Structure 1
C-alpha cells in the first residue's frame, strides 16, 4: 500500500484509470506468424542482423526461455549460458554468451546484445578448466570484492565448460 501511495499520485500515474487490463502480444509481422526478426551480436561481432528465424532460446536470469513468433514484448537480463538460434531452414546454431540483454519488441523483432560470445569450436576446454580452478581458489582468499569476483568467474566458466563438453 505504501508503494502505491508513493507512486500512484493522481497527477503522476493513476491505476484507477486502467479498468481493462489486457495482455499485449507482439503484432503479426510481415514475415509470418511463426518467425521473428533477430539481431544478435556483441560489440565486435554481428551474427544476425534483422534476419528471419524460427525462434531463439536465451539463458535468462530465472532460466532459459524460447522466443517465437507473436511473443509478448519482453526485456530481460541474460546470465552466462547458451543462445540457440533455430533457423528457418531447420538448423540450430548455438553460441556461448557471458552476459547481456534480450529485447522482444511489439513488432516481433528481437535484439540479443551480449558482452562476449563464442562458438563451441573456439573453446579450449583445458584453458576453461584452469580458469575455473583459479576462481575456485580465489574464493578463500582476500576480501568480499575478491569473493564476488570469484563467484562471477565460477558461474561463467562452469557454464562455458558445460557448453563445451556437451555432445
Structure 2
C-alpha cells in the first residue's frame, strides 16, 4: 500500500478537509505540482484552479480562488482564499450567474460599482473554466 500524506485544506470560513490521502495536485502560481508523502518542503502561492485530491476512496476536486500551499514534514496544508467542491457546481446555474454578472458590469453606474461587478464576473468565469 502507498504511503499516505496528511492533508488539510482551510478556507476563511472553515476546515474543509483533514485526512490522509494518496496525493494532491496543487495549482501553483508557477505551475501545477503534485505532492506525495515524504515530499520535500515547499511553500507556494496558488493561482485560481482545481486542487485534485487522490484518496483511497476515490478522487475529490476542489476549485480554489488562490491562497498558499505549504508542504512540511507533517504533510500538506492549503490555505485557500475561497474553496468550492467541483461536485457542488451546476453548469447551467453558473452560466446564468455569469450572464447576470455581465449585466451588472454593463449597468454599473460608477467606476467602483463597475470594478466590484467585474471582480464578481471574473470569479465566475474562473469557476466556469475549471468545469
Bin of the TM-score, shorter chain as denominator length: 0.7 to 0.9
3-state DSSP of counterpart to 1:66? strand
Paired with 1:131 and 1:57, the residues of 2 have a C-alpha distance of: 32
Question: 1:122 matched to which residue of 2?
Answer: 88
Q: What is the correspondence of 1:89-100 to structure 2 with a 5 Å cutoff?
A: 89=57, 91-100=58-67
Pick from 34, 39, 62 the counterpart of residue 66 of structure 1.
34
Pick from 3, 6, 9 the counterpart of residue 40 of structure 1.
9
Paired with 2:103 and 2:27, the residues of 1 have a C-alpha distance of: 25
Ranges in structure 1 where 5+ consecutive residues have no aligned partner: 1-31
Pick from 106, 112, 117 the counterpart of residue 78 of structure 2.
112
Post-superposition CA distance 1:114-155 (Å, at most 9, x none): 1211122433322442366358759xx849xx49x84x6565
Change in Cα spacing, 1:110 to 1:54, as seen in structure 2 (3 Å) is same
Pick from 25, 37, 40 the counterpart of residue 57 of structure 1.
25
**In the alignment, is residue 162 of structure 1 matched against residue 122 of structure 2?**
no
- After TM superposition, give the deviation of residue 79 of structure 1 in Å: 1.1
Post-superposition CA distance 1:48-94 (Å, at most 9, x none): 22x211110111111211111221101111111111110133x1100
3-state DSSP of counterpart to 2:68? strand
CA RMSD of the aligned region, Å?
Answer: 3.0
Structure-2-length-normalised TM-score: 0.75
Ranges in structure 2 where 5+ consecutive residues have no aligned partner: none
Structure-1-length-normalised TM-score: 0.61
Change in Cα spacing, 1:103 to 1:131, as seen in structure 2 (3 Å) is farther
Change in Cα spacing, 1:81 to 1:46, as seen in structure 2 (3 Å) is same
Q: What is the correspondence of 1:74-89 to structure 2 with a 5 Å cutoff?
A: 74-89=42-57
